[in-house]
């Protein structure tokens, strides 16, 4: 899953960046509202962690402009403002959740997992497809009763497919969700990861749709 982290405080930004990467997320960073607005308008994020007190353009305005432009990615607001009317303003601007500083990073990560799941219509933290289960809390993957060891990129790709069962996803879309903006992207690597997943999960239904991309076929 690919996250945009918008925070102007360097120490907190670095701390959350490391924590999100350890939790398995691909993370893009912005330390001001102008850069955040541009990234949210041009890159496909699975969720955004957005501070309100930003230089250049404040976070509330950034969020309002995204929603006015039809950007639908889940947004978690971070702020030191704990007054109830500030929270109401954030929710009314289009925020999906609200976390007041100081907070424990594990709470943020748990809320993010929930936002991403619900954005794709999944209430449970356990994703299922036939004999395959993926636990978004622990990162454990089990297939036909056995635990399957996946690399970080294999896991991200599988999770992205399991959140959208039956949907055809292009190589470009999958690549954009696996890699941050500053990373050199090669869509051919998706073919490599898909081949590895098919070897580790034989018979699962990881299909290539010629000329369009890949999909995880729901079990009959």
Instruction: Give the model confidence (pLDDT) of 84-118 as tens digits.
Output: 777 788 888 999 999 998 899 999 999 999 999 99
Q: Which two tokens stand for residue 143?
A: 């297939």
Closest CA to 139 of 128, 124, 150, 123: 150
Q: Write out the two tokens for 114.
A: 């929930």
pLDDT band at residue 187, thresholds of 50, 70 and 90?
low
Question: Do residues 36 and 30 make contact, with C-beta atoms less than 8 angstroms apart?
Answer: yes
pLDDT above 90 covers a percentage of the chain that reads 81
Pairing of strands 75-79, 97-100: parallel
Beta-sheet pairing, 97-100 with 126-129: unpaired
Q: pLDDT at position 17, please?
A: 96
**SS3 assignment, position 199:** helix
Radius of gyration (C-alpha) of the chain in whole angstroms: 18
Average pLDDT value for the chain:
92
pLDDT, position 9 = 95
CA nearest 161: which of 111, 204, 108, 220? Answer: 204
Q: Cα torsion at 192, 208, 137, 103 (round to 10°)? A: 80
When pLDDT is averaged across residues 34-54 and rounded to a whole number, the result is 96
For residues 42-61, average pLDDT? 95
Give residue-wise pLDDT tens across range 114-152. Answer: 999 999 999 899 999 999 999 999 999 999 999 999 999
Distances (CA, A) of 79 to 22, 69, 76, 106, 187: 23, 23, 10, 17, 37
Interval 209-220: pLDDT, tens:
999 999 999 887
Provide the pLDDT for residue 181.
76
CB 216 within 8 A of CB 204: yes
Q: What is the pTM of this model?
A: 0.86
State residue 219's pLDDT score: 83
Q: What's the pLDDT score for residue 80?
A: 81
- Residue where the block lists tokens 């996250």: 3
CA dihedral 46, 51, 56, 57 (to 10 degrees): 70
Say what the pLDDT of residue 88 is: 83
Domains of the chain (ranges, CATH numbers): 2-119 (3.40.50.2300), 126-216 (1.10.10.10)
């Amino acid at each position: 899953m690919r996250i945009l982290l918008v925070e102007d405080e360097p120490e907190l930004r670095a701390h959350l960046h490391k924590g999100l990467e350890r939790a398995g997320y691909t993370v893009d960073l912005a330390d001001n509202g102008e850069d955040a607005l541009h990234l949210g308008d041009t890159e496909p994020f699975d969720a955004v962690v957005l501070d309100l007190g930003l230089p250049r353009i404040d976070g509330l305005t950034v969020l309002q402009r995204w929603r006015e432009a039809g950007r639908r990615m889940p947004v978690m607001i971070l702020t030191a403002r704990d007054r109830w009317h500030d929270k109401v303003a954030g929710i009314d601007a289009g925020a999906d959740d609200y976390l007041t500083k100081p907070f424990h990073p594990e709470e943020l990560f748990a809320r993010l997992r929930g936002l991403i799941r619900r954005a794709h219509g999944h209430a449970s933290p356990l994703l299922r497809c036939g004999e395959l289960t993926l636990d978004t809390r622990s990162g454990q993957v089990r297939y036909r009763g056995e635990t399957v060891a996946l690399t970080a990129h294999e896991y991200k790709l599988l999770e992205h497919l399991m959140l959208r069962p039956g949907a055809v996803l292009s190589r470009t879309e999958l690549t954009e969700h696996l890699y941050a903006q500053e990373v050199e992207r090669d869509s051919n690597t998706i073919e490599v990861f898909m081949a590895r997943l098919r070897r580790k999960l034989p018979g699962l239904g990881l299909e290539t749709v010629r000329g369009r991309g890949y999909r995880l076929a729901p079990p009959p």
